[in-house]
Amino acid sequence: MERSFASLSESNLEYFKIHILECYLDKLPSIRRTISNLINTFLRHGGMETWPEILDFLVKHLESDIGVEMTLETLNIIIEDSGNYLEENCAKFLNELIPKILNFLSEMGKRTKEERSDNLTILVLNTFNILLENCASILQDKLNSASNILVNLHSTDNFDMRYHLGRCWLTIIRMKREILLDPNTDLFLFFVPNLTAEHYKMNFISAEFFLFIVEEDYDFVEKIREKIFTHFATYYLF
């Protein structure tokens, strides 16, 4: 498809769109991955405007046990490639997708470590961060509620999950730094210990967090100075 897309007729493209979705929930993971790649190839070459119905199809399949991971992976690529288009033309899709993503994270935050699927949670966190980075305007009024949800995942000892949480937090505070002043969202408690964690990506993301603070204006840093010193002293001196 990569090489021949431009030469495909309208009828060929319509045939593809109809029949590729018939195999979407195939029982073989290798076939599902191939289908996901083909969908993204089609959209990359044809553009979102050639297949807007795929968005509703994908949102619906977030409810499917067998198709949820593939659907998230497909959505991640679509959002990264077409964020501006989605913001301008697909508000209905985003307004359906974002609550589903936040609700999933909320449910995972209520579960014990044994009950929660860490791999799936990491995938959803990645989707949420991609939404934050590429569809910022539609998420601006949801940052406080999203922050309250993310806090409930802080207790995880899975470093990959903590890394993806850290990525989400960095994106959020760059969009709305006042989140740092919220007593219910104590990010210093999350990032300070991870400066010395045995996980280099977590070290890096924590260093980025403090670099962000250092680069802020003096008045803002003064507001959080006590928090910074309290957590450093608590964690490293006692």
The predicted pLDDT at position 54 comes to: 92
Whether 229 has a pLDDT exceeding 80, the answer reads no
> What would the DSSP string read from start to end of 96-133?
HHHHHHHHHHHHHHHS-TTTS-HHHHHHHHHHHHHHHH
Nearest to 72 by CA among 21, 17, 123, 19: 123
Tell me which of 213 and 141 has the higher pLDDT.
Answer: 141
Q: How confident is the model over 170-191, as a mean pLDDT?
A: 86
pLDDT tier for residue 1 given thresholds of 50, 70 and 90: low
pLDDT tier for residue 197 given thresholds of 50, 70 and 90: confident
- The residues spanned by each domain of the chain are 5-141
Burial of 166 (0-12, 13-18, 19+ CB in 10 A): buried
**How many whole angstroms from its chain centre is CA 56?**
19
The predicted pLDDT at position 131 comes to: 96
Q: How confident is the model over 43-72, as a mean pLDDT?
A: 88
Mean pLDDT of the chain: 86
User: What percent of the chain shows pLDDT beyond 70?
Assistant: 92
The predicted pLDDT at position 164 comes to: 94
Q: How confident is the model over 184-197, as a mean pLDDT?
A: 81
Whether 188 has a pLDDT exceeding 70, the answer reads yes
pTM of this structure: 0.85
Whether 142 has a pLDDT exceeding 90, the answer reads yes
What is residue 176's three-state secondary structure?
coil
For 64-100, the pLDDT digits (tens) are 888 898 899 999 999 998 888 999 999 999 999 999 9
Most confident residue range from 1-10, 149-158, 210-219 = 149-158
